[in-house]
Amino acid sequence: MSRTVTLDVGGMTCDGCASNVTKAINSLEAVSKVDVSHDSGKAIVTHDSPDDENIRLAIMNAGYSVDGESEPFNWKDGPVWRQSAHNTKWCLIGCSIGDFGTIAAFQFIPYLDALDWSAMSIMMLAMFNGIMTSIALETFILIKQMGGIREAFRVAIGMSLISMIAMETSMNATDLLIMGEPSLTWWVIPIMLFVGFITPWPYNYWRLKKYGLACH
């Protein structure tokens, strides 16, 4: 006999999260109807199972909490590693636009080069611009999904600042260590991108696995 249960799901921040939870629940054969909302933080499920345990586990395995409980943390979840890598990739693209653009401007525009800014000043500006372009890119990506620029910006600005700062710091420190100054060459860029990706990736995994929160 079918019955309906309402579960409090933690960690959902957007329609994409609600979609992930819906997909996880629908993977269970006993489920006949699912209604998930990230706004209310609720999952209303109609199913034929004798209890709700399989549904709760499916949600937890997707990286979200149920009624305040979550799956014990571990570093062995392949799908979460892949999802956190995807999130980190988009964060890296956004950060690189502003970061590399700033360094290139001081490197190739004579007027800016003549300002004789210190390496630290250029790095700090590059880091700031990188974070801004990352937020701008994510806002653009989320506009349709979130139903408007205001909500998209709210979600984008709420993403992990720690991840972006770690990414920016590692990329610029690598550039300074190799080149001795903020400077771009064809062979140093891949190294900067690699270091910028690897540095925050474990943190992004931890944040997604433990709290169901994505950096991007």
Domains, the chain, in order of start with CATH, read 3-66 (3.30.70.100), 78-211 (no CATH)
CA 153 and chain centroid, separation: 14
Cα–Cα distances in Å, from 211 out to 15, 70, 111, 156, 207? 17, 8, 47, 17, 6
What gap in Å lies between CA 60 and CA 54, rounded to an integer? 10
Sorting pLDDT into bands at 50, 70 and 90, what band is 212? low
Sorting pLDDT into bands at 50, 70 and 90, what band is 51? confident
Check residue 20 and give its pLDDT: 86
Sorting pLDDT into bands at 50, 70 and 90, what band is 213? low
Q: What is the DSSP letter of 9?
A: E
Residue 153's Cβ-side half-sphere holds a number of Cα atoms within 13 Å equal to: 6
Compute the mean pLDDT over every residue in the chain, rounded to the nearest whole number: 88
**Mean pLDDT confidence for 131-150:** 85
